Amino acid sequence: MNYKNLITLEELERRTFTPKEIERIHKEANERIAQRALRELRKEFGLTQEELSTKSGIPRTTITKIETGAMNVSVGKLTQLANAMNADLKIQFIPRSN
């Protein structure tokens, strides 16, 4: 195999998409990661959406919308969900790579 022709993912993105498209793709990917993290944590704690709803005071339909990305969620609601699962909420600001 000729490895001289391999390029990084970042280079492939630059060759394929505009900077605005790359920004949108990364934003959507990060949102999906957060949604998946909430769903996985809920399942790790052995909770159904209904049980998490009861513990957090957030309607089950809202939890479904958050987990599927159909609804943006506030830090307040994330805090409620974290408290209901006896977990800490961690928010990070990470420098963008331009």
Report the candidate in 57, 50, 46, 60 with the shortest Cα–Cα distance to residue 80.
57
User: What 3-state DSSP class applies to 17?
Assistant: coil
- Domain boundaries defined on the chain: 7-84
Q: Is the pLDDT of residue 1 over 70?
A: no
Residues 28-47: pLDDT tens digits?
Answer: 877 777 778 889 999 999 99
Q: Is the pLDDT of residue 58 over 90?
A: yes
Query: Regarding the domain with residue range 7-84, which homologous superfamily does it belong to in the CATH classification?
Result: lambda repressor-like DNA-binding domains (1.10.260.40)
Contact (Cβ atoms closer than 8 angstroms) between residue 93 and residue 82: no
Residues 6-28: pLDDT tens digits?
Answer: 888 889 889 999 999 988 888 88
Contact (Cβ atoms closer than 8 angstroms) between residue 71 and residue 65: yes
CA distances, 33 to each of 51, 54, 66 (Å): 23, 25, 12
